[in-house]
């Protein structure tokens, strides 16, 4: 028989997962994407207190595209739709993190597209060079955190 003191740490780790309110978890509207994310175990976004945390969106060029701008536009549009579903906008983004498989080769096009969506005052931004992404043909993954405005502020 297991001792209670051995089970207690497991219960403590599981408690935060059960504490999320389902209305504060945003899954994809596309059934195929929702099925994939459910199987893997992640959401498009989660509201926790006054923050909205978005999962990373992978920038993937389509066959025949000669530059990354269309792929970045698709990614930023998807992020914008997720922010809207969570009740915030690009103006509420306080932190942006981007993971680049070729940082020098993608940063300028990202900046050009990003600047269409994000205006001053700017959020914090960290750009990180990495060796690979979950999707083999992905070149950048973009993750954001937004600050919710509470009523009366």
Q: Going from the N-terminus, what domains does the chain have, and what CATH number goes with each? A: 49-153 (3.30.1330.40)
* 75 contacts 142 by C-beta, under 8 angstroms: yes
Phi, psi of 131 (to 5 degrees): -95, -25
Phi, psi of 98 (to 5 degrees): -125, 135
Nearest Cα neighbor of 59 from 82, 78, 40, 45 is: 78
Phi, psi of 136 (to 5 degrees): -60, -30
Average of per-residue pLDDT across 49-74: 95
The radius of gyration computed from the CA coordinates of the chain, to the nearest angstrom, equals 18
The span from the CA of 67 to the CA of 62, in Å, is: 10
Structure confidence at residue 21 (pLDDT): 79
| 111 band by pLDDT with thresholds 50, 70 and 90 | very high
Give percent of the chain with pLDDT exceeding 90. 70
Structure confidence at residue 99 (pLDDT): 98
Distance spanning both ends of the chain, measured CA to CA:
54
DSSP state of 89: -
Share the mean pLDDT of the chain.
87
* 60 contacts 131 by C-beta, under 8 angstroms: no
Residues in Cβ contact with 8 at an 8 Å cutoff, skipping those fewer than 6 apart:
none
Please give the residue that has the higher pLDDT: either 83 or 17: 83
Average of per-residue pLDDT across 82-101: 97
Structure confidence at residue 6 (pLDDT): 41
pLDDT exceeds 50 at position 101: yes
Structure confidence at residue 67 (pLDDT): 94
């Amino acid at each position: 028989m297991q001792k209670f003191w051995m089970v207690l740490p497991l219960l403590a780790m599981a408690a935060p997962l059960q504490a999320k309110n389902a209305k504060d978890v945003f899954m994809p509207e596309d059934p195929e994407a929702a099925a994939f994310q459910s199987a893997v175990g992640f959401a498009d976004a989660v509201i926790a207190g006054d923050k909205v945390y978005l999962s990373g969106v992978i920038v993937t060029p389509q066959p025949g595209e000669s530059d990354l701008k269309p792929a970045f536009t698709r990614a930023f549009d998807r992020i914008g739709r997720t922010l809207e579903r969570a009740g915030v906008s690009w103006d509420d983004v306080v932190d942006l993190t981007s993971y680049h498989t070729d940082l020098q080769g993608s940063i300028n096009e990202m900046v050009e597209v990003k600047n269409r969506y994000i205006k001053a005052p700017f959020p914090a931004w960290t750009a990180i060079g990495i060796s690979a992404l979950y999707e083999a043909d992905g070149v950048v993954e973009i993750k954001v955190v937004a600050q919710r405005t509470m009523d009366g502020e």
